[in-house]
Amino acid sequence: MSNQSVQTVSTSNDKIKVVLAVVAAIAGVVGFFYLAGQPSLVRVAALVGGLLISVAIAYTSSNGRDFLNFAKEAVRETKKVVWPTRKEATQITAIVFAFVLVMAVFLWGTDKILEFLLYDVILGIRK
């Protein structure tokens, strides 16, 4: 038995729907900037309206449904993440800053030692 997955080939109808969804999203963004002289509520309504129409059109295609299901799964997985507490985040940040400081001092010291060796000891061009 084979474990290969089977992919369905999208029809040209689905491709047209995806293109229309992209056009609707772009129209919403363009409308937002085109209506620059209008009140903010009108501009935001144009943007949100274009995006909602885009999502509605995309959901009617198989590719769009697959993408939206993927987005839902991504949000669901993000909710499963165990985020560090404030104390843990502060401790980790302090460790990173301390490491950066130690590395900066180390690299500065290495640079000064090499500068002394090359210019003063080997080349003798420092006064």
Record the tokens describing residue 29, joined without a space: 């963004």
Distance between CA 94 and CA 58 in Å, rounded? 46
Query: pLDDT digit string (tens) for 82-110?
Result: 989 999 999 999 999 999 999 999 999 99
User: Percent helix, strand and coil across the chain, each rounded to 5?
Assistant: 80, 0, 20
Please work out, in degrees rounded to the nearest 5, the angle formed at the alpha carbon of residue 47 by the alpha carbons of 40 and 58.
165
The reply to whether 113 and 89 lie within a common domain is yes
The reply to whether 74 and 100 lie within a common domain is no
- Range(s) of the domain holding residue 54: 12-79
The reply to whether 26 and 73 lie within a common domain is yes
Which of 46, 63, 79 is at the close of a domain? 79
* Mean pLDDT, all residues of the chain: 88
Residue 54: closest CA among 29, 35, 79, 86: 29
Which of 62, 79, 96 is at the close of a domain? 79
SS3 category, 81: coil
> So what's the pLDDT on residue 8?
56
The reply to whether 67 and 108 lie within a common domain is no
Residue 1 covered by a domain: no
Residues 6+ apart with CB under 8 A from 22: 54
> So what's the pLDDT on residue 126?
66
Which of 40, 58, 79 is at the close of a domain? 79
100 or 9, which is more confident?
Answer: 100
The reply to whether 66 and 23 lie within a common domain is yes
Record the tokens describing residue 101, joined without a space: 């400081």
Record the tokens describing residue 68, joined without a space: 């939206």
Domains: count for the chain = 2
